[in-house]
Structure 1
């Protein structure tokens, strides 16, 4: 199966009231884990690559690995740029075969964010790509993008309505209390703000920074209209922990397969758990 557009997956999720898992990749084993989990759960899935992943693995490798995985898979898979911050970066991903991109103009004033988003939409929609944008600031750190807790601004529902009307973007990431990276405590999501935004816009809503958010809170957010949930940190935690356990048990081990194999299995397991929480199992 060829790569599909993200909007195709999110429109179905929106109609049937579940969320599609968007899982960040950094290497071959994590891509394999995402696809294995999706196939085991018969779920649609979005494989995401951040700026850091592209810098580490190389855009050609990420695209080639994901295309091979999608061609062999029996579930629909989208390849998505996570937190693209420039038009040039978005176009690089479009030229290399991504099926979806995110342009994150949330650090800009509202009208500048709208202008940048529209520039991206105008360029990539004729190529068949879907576009995600962000309004409001998500706390924590995403690669080299850092927003302190004080600066983290929740999305204003009226601004969300204006933004969507002005851009007709395919998906909108909002800030309602989540954060990138590992949480210091239990996050409290502003569900009423989410419901107000969903009332005002028809665009599928995206929840970033969802690792560490309790399952019941994720289910509540999905019931109120979230259609895409991003997971990265949980995958890293499971992957690294499994690798560390192998090394702790066998300090002289030099075969990377002995470490990366269990790490891949651990990543697959946590991704399967998230897919079931999101309600996308059986939706492929």
Structure 2
């Protein structure tokens, strides 16, 4: 699905899940929008949800029960070496090995190992050079700009798509953030495409909070996967907080978690629908 996006100038949303309700919301929106979609899970979310196999089984079971017909991938987001191997064994269909906090030679060597293990099972691999700002499951980055030579070396490991730091960060963006380094993105895209002789899909992490026009420009330059987590979490929190502060939780049986959380889930669905519109992948199934 990401190769198709790269070839045709749009991007796939990689939406992080956090629980049952989140997973249902992602799948429902994907089906409603007829949008190929990636259900992503971080190491922290996997632990919270009960383990690697639990996440895989949950997505598969909901996929079948909800009669989902659009392409869906189950993706490990920012996995370390051991998590990547565990996700491969559990049946994830896509792996991000994040060795960006390691020396570049070690990052490349471990990525090659993960590529060999994953590709033997038909699993796609994403890897990262130049750390993404912010913190993701203990991996802390300062928002480095990925060196071109590191990006070229990484795609030569045989990965399927590349995450490269271009000034993007995880979580809400601070007021003094100056924007994506789009000129550097273009240089990376040109260099890696020439290195392997075909269009390499680029991944934009920290997609929550980047202005839409910058995301659209980045997509035109080769970004084919955009990660979204904080945006949906903030939408969930805002809707749920408004519901509780208005004392709606005290009405009837709204203490029932199925009723209490419903308004937050609607917030998630609204946020993801909006992102799919910006990414341009509605009706691409």
TM-score > 0.5 by shorter chain? yes
Separation in 2, partners of 1:225, 1:244:
38
TM-superposed deviation, 1:78 = 0.1
TM-superposed deviation, 1:61 = 2.7
User: Which residue of 60, 64, 87 corresponds with 1:67?
Assistant: 60
Separation in 1, partners of 2:91, 2:245:
40
TM-superposed deviation, 1:187 = 4.7
Separation in 2, partners of 1:234, 1:187:
19
User: Which residue of 72, 75, 83 corresponds with 1:80?
Assistant: 75
TM-superposed deviation, 1:264 = 1.1
Residue 95 of structure 2 is aligned to residue 101 of structure 1: yes
Separation in 1, partners of 2:185, 2:162:
12
Partner of 1:190: 181
Separation in 2, partners of 1:162, 1:145:
22
User: Which residue of 122, 125, 132 corresponds with 2:126?
Assistant: 132
TM-superposed deviation, 1:143 = 2.8
The answer on whether the counterparts of 1:178 and 1:187 sit within 8 Å (CA) in structure 2 is no
Partner of 1:213: 210
Separation in 1, partners of 2:147, 2:99:
15
TM-superposed deviation, 1:95 = 1.7
The answer on whether the counterparts of 1:21 and 1:231 sit within 8 Å (CA) in structure 2 is yes
SS of corresponding position for 1:106:
coil
1:96-151 per-position Cα deviation (integer Å, ceiling 9, x unaligned): 1210111001111211111000011111211111110000011112132222x4xx
Separation in 1, partners of 2:103, 2:131:
12
Q: Which ranges of structure 1 fall in alignment gaps of 5 or more residues?
A: 1-8
Partner of 1:240: 237
Separation in 2, partners of 1:143, 1:207:
18
The answer on whether the counterparts of 1:70 and 1:76 sit within 8 Å (CA) in structure 2 is no
Residue 42 of structure 2 is aligned to residue 50 of structure 1: yes
Separation in 1, partners of 2:94, 2:150:
24
The answer on whether the counterparts of 1:105 and 1:133 sit within 8 Å (CA) in structure 2 is yes
The answer on whether the counterparts of 1:136 and 1:175 sit within 8 Å (CA) in structure 2 is yes
Partner of 1:6: none
The answer on whether the counterparts of 2:20 and 2:58 sit within 8 Å (CA) in structure 1 is yes
Separation in 1, partners of 2:212, 2:63:
28
SS of corresponding position for 2:238:
helix
Equivalent pairs counted in the alignment come to: 271
Partner of 1:275: 276
TM-superposed deviation, 1:176 = 0.5
User: Which residue of 8, 12, 16 corresponds with 1:16?
Assistant: 8
Separation in 2, partners of 1:136, 1:104:
10
Normalising to structure 2: TM-score of the pair?
0.92
The answer on whether the counterparts of 1:103 and 1:117 sit within 8 Å (CA) in structure 2 is yes
1:224-248 per-position Cα deviation (integer Å, ceiling 9, x unaligned): 1100000000010011111112211
The answer on whether the counterparts of 1:22 and 1:46 sit within 8 Å (CA) in structure 2 is yes
Moved over 6 A (4+): none
Separation in 2, partners of 1:216, 1:259:
35
Q: Which ranges of structure 2 fall in alignment gaps of 5 or more residues?
A: 194-199
Residue 21 of structure 2 is aligned to residue 29 of structure 1: yes
TM-superposed deviation, 1:207 = 0.5
- CA RMSD, Structure 1 to Structure 2 (Å): 1.3
SS of corresponding position for 1:173:
strand
1:248-279 per-position Cα deviation (integer Å, ceiling 9, x unaligned): 12253521112211111110111011011001
